Amino acid sequence: MAVATMRPEVQPQYPAIKPGMMGMYIFLASEVMFFGSLFAVYFYLYGSHLVWPPPPPSATNEFYVNWFPIPFVNTIILLSSGITCHYAAEAIAHDNRRRFFMLQISTIILGLAFEGFQLYEFITAFGRGLSLTANTFASAFFTLTGFHGAHVLGGLVLLTLILYRASKGQFSSKHHVAVNAVTLYWHFVDVVWLFLFGILYLGITAFR
């Protein structure tokens, strides 16, 4: 007697998003809304003032920012770090560990340089008697750039953690989701800075 055998149906295979990457996408979606809200407040302040930026609080203050040299240099630094971060992820995906370490360390150094120049700009502004409460533009400027700097600092912590884990041999061509997730985050802070540079620095220069 013939026995009929049933073969299990072959389920179609689709590219799946790894849970780690999905978590990062959701987190970045919330970050987009966060920075979107800050930019919305900035444009509200711009639209509610007849003169923008408002005059400095006193004749001794020279607040209004210039796009060159520090912000421009910082833009080059941060975009360069995005390139090294991208190719570091590519290197670990191809099991090129030596190249990964070189590029990852370069990314961290560039990120630290960005933070250093940003801190110098803040200290210089404070030295001219300007602070978060000097006027509405100063409040918006320090809030936007300060939160972005905090996100860069958080990214540096994540990059350093990835570097440490890689030194323990935890990543390979078959397992590097965490590297890709942190790389995506770093690209996000790059893009946010481009908006900040265009709106806060180039935009203010055009209004002056």
Over residues 156-196, the pLDDT tens digits come to 999 999 999 999 999 999 999 999 999 999 999 999 999 99
Cis peptide before 53 (omega within 30 of 0): yes
Q: How sure is the predictor about 208, in pLDDT bands with cuts at 50, 70 and 90? A: low
This prediction has a pTM of 0.89
Distance, CA of 38 to CA of 134 (rounded, Å): 18
Instruction: Tell me the pLDDT tens digit for each residue of 43-99.
Output: 999 999 888 888 776 655 566 678 899 999 999 999 999 999 999 999 999 999 999
* CA diameter of the chain: 103
Instruction: Tell me the pLDDT tens digit for each residue of 94-119.
Output: 999 999 999 999 999 999 999 999 99
Residue 6: pLDDT above 80?
Answer: no
Helices (H), the chain: 19-47, 70-93, 97-127, 136-167, 177-196, 203-207
> Helix or strand or coil: residue 18?
coil
Residue 4: pLDDT above 70?
Answer: no
Structure tokens at 40: 């919305």
> Helix or strand or coil: residue 175?
strand
Distance, CA of 133 to CA of 126 (rounded, Å): 11
Task: Please answer whether residues 46 and 83 qualify as being in contact, where contact means their C-beta atoms are separated by less than 8 angstroms.
Answer: no
- With 0-12 / 13-18 / 19 or more C-beta atoms within 10 angstroms meaning exposed / middle / buried, residue 47 is exposed
Note the pLDDT of residue 1: 47
Percent share of the chain, pLDDT over 70: 87
Cα angle, residue 200 at apex, residues 196 and 203 outer, rounded to 5°: 115
What is the 8-class DSSP label of residue 10? Answer: P
Domains (ranges, CATH) in the chain?
63-131+149-208 (1.20.120.80)
What are the backbone angles phi and psi of residue 53, rounded to the nearest 5°? -75, 155
Residue 203: pLDDT above 60?
Answer: yes
Structure tokens at 108: 């961290």
Distance, CA of 79 to CA of 101 (rounded, Å): 19
Note the pLDDT of residue 161: 98
